[in-house]
Structure 1
Amino acid sequence: MLLLIPLVAMQFTQEVNWTFSDFVFAGVLLFGTGTTYVLIARKWNNLAYKLAVAVGVVAGLLLVWANAAVGLVGSEDNPANLLYLGVPIVALVGAFVARFQPLGMSNAMFAASLTYVVVTAIALFVWTPAPGTAEPSAYFVNVLVANGMFAALWAVSGWLFRRASAASSHLGQRLA
């Protein structure tokens, strides 16, 4: 249903111009996101864990979508944007190393958030905006705010996993 939005918009405006490959990319991304959520969230019957998975998966979806659509630093053609692929890689590797246990997942999401901040700092200080595209100060503030919100999503996911870990440890203490 979400893919109908750009399809309908293309009928009424020239500003939305998706190709067949854009629809395939978006479909795979949305299907992959939903599948990832279901596969991971079903491991635990804990609301904090399920919310943490949802926030982490949405953070990954938004990161990939925004980076592919417009880029997170400059345009989508800016090579600095390739650095952001390291963030979901850190999150995924951390999740597998943690075996999807809440405390380890918390550490993985905090590591992804920190990676996001480091990548943004590198991108901002290594690649500068092209002259004439925007005022450097406005560009800098826009990039910081947008990337700060993305990093916060990963941190919120980490915090929710931490709460899920605390809840499961309290449950274990009650059962003992």
Structure 2
Amino acid sequence: MKVLAVLAHPNHKSLSYAFFQQVIQGSQENAHITEIQVLDLYEEGFDPVLVFNEEKRRRDMHLDPKLALYREQILWADKLVFVYPIWWGRPPAMLLGYIDQLFASNFAYRDHGGLLPEGLLKGKSAVCISSMKGPAFYPLYWLANAHKMLMRKALFRYVGIKQVKFFEFGNMESKQGKQKEKLERVYRYFKAVAH
């Protein structure tokens, strides 16, 4: 299994970065994972801003040469892993900009006139590891589970990815947040995951 791990947090002293390191360490110790590639969107200087004009059209985004390496990474991977904070009930703009540009028509999905498109990333799986200051039940009850619905249904299912695992951790700025236990949980998952 080949893993692409994507980090969307600007601070390498953050808890998100610590989770990212646990993904890498666990993956490196897992005999089922043959290769891992890492993408730190902020360190990479990824530009999340969409630009469409007469020279750059949305329908051609799947051919944008500036995004070719990122498309190759997604095609290469069996498992896509996204590590990010929850800000304002959703992933940060950096990750959403990556999604907007990479999960493009004729690359991640193809319209064919039906109600739903053909997902072109079938067979892959995804893992979302997110953390937030507020309690874990906040997005579930107060926001009608919007974050998971966004990622699972509006994104992954749309492009053909059916197997999605969530680690959604709350109270991460609290002394009682059990940060070490949660880091260990992520590490153990990636050390043992087989598909």
User: Which structure has greater strand proportion?
Assistant: 2
User: Which structure has greater helix proportion?
Assistant: 1
TM-score by length of 2: 0.26
TM-score by length of 1: 0.27
